[in-house]
Amino acid sequence: MESLPQGVLTLAGDLASDTFRAQLSGWAMGVTSVVHNAGYAPNIAAEDTDSDFDRMVFESNVIAPLDLTRKLQPSLAQGSPGRVVSISSFATHDPFPGFRAYAASKSALESLVRSLPGETDGQVIGFNIALAAVETPALRAFADTSMVPPEAALDPDAVAAAVERLLSGEFDDRSGERFLLSVDHALPS
């Protein structure tokens, strides 16, 4: 957290908690942009999961962003337009074994973001960034360098730069779109 720019505020908590989401939405009132970056992505074979597992994944990856966006809608609308960026995954298009609940939840999150302009009369717009592998500890927790070589993984700074461009207004006429981001795919110039 030391590397965050001056003036950036953070609030740590469990997005799966209704209580924390209420606290967070009150704390964040006044924002005109939101990035839904949280993602719970355990790699577990389908036969080793149950409906409680699926609910836990959907609570973090779909219900929390849906709830926060709804609670912050009056604040977001002050952005003329407000902007929401969801960090999604290539897994929504090409899911891989062990991540079916994660892939399904990210697909639902993309649908939420696509629906924003129609639900808010254009006062809040949104974008989806579907990421390929990003060089993070989370990636390395399930994929070693023989599975995903470092040169095949995005630098987190590239993701941050793409989010910054989407929040800048540069792509407002493309609201609702899904942008693929990988070492081979970038936002259009």
E strands in the chain:
33-36, 82-89, 124-131, 178-181
pLDDT at 4: 61
- What residues does 82 pair with on adjacent strands? 124
Residue 91 pLDDT level (bands cut at 50, 70, 90): confident
Residue 139 pLDDT level (bands cut at 50, 70, 90): confident
Which tops the pLDDT comparison, 98 or 56?
56
pLDDT at 124: 97
Asked whether residue 38 carries a pLDDT value surpassing 80, the answer given is no
Which tops the pLDDT comparison, 132 or 9?
132
pTM for the model: 0.90
* Region 160-177 average pLDDT: 95
pLDDT at 174: 96
Residue 56 near residue 40 (C-beta atoms within 8 A) = yes
* Region 88-116 average pLDDT: 91
Asked whether residue 46 carries a pLDDT value surpassing 60, the answer given is yes
Asked whether residue 179 carries a pLDDT value surpassing 70, the answer given is yes
Q: Determine the Cα–Cα distance for residues 6 and 106; give it in Å rounded to an integer.
A: 31
The one-character DSSP state at 154 is B
- In the predicted model, what is the mean pLDDT of the chain? 91
Percent with pLDDT over 90 in the chain? 73
**Residue 177 phi, psi dihedral angles, 5° rounding:** -75, 155
Q: Determine the Cα–Cα distance for residues 83 and 130; give it in Å rounded to an integer.
A: 17
All structural domains of the chain, each given as residue ranges with its CATH number in brackets, are 18-181 (3.40.50.720)
Q: Determine the Cα–Cα distance for residues 128 and 118; give it in Å rounded to an integer.
A: 16
pLDDT at 6: 73
Asked whether residue 88 carries a pLDDT value surpassing 90, the answer given is yes
176: left (phi over 0), alpha (psi -120 to 50) or beta: left
Instruction: Give 54's contacts (C-beta < 8 A, 6+ positions apart).
Output: 101
Asked whether residue 1 carries a pLDDT value surpassing 60, the answer given is no
Residue 77 near residue 123 (C-beta atoms within 8 A) = yes
- Sequence-ordered alpha helix ranges (H) in the chain: 18-28, 51-58, 64-77, 100-119, 137-142, 156-167
Q: Determine the Cα–Cα distance for residues 24 and 37; give it in Å rounded to an integer.
A: 15
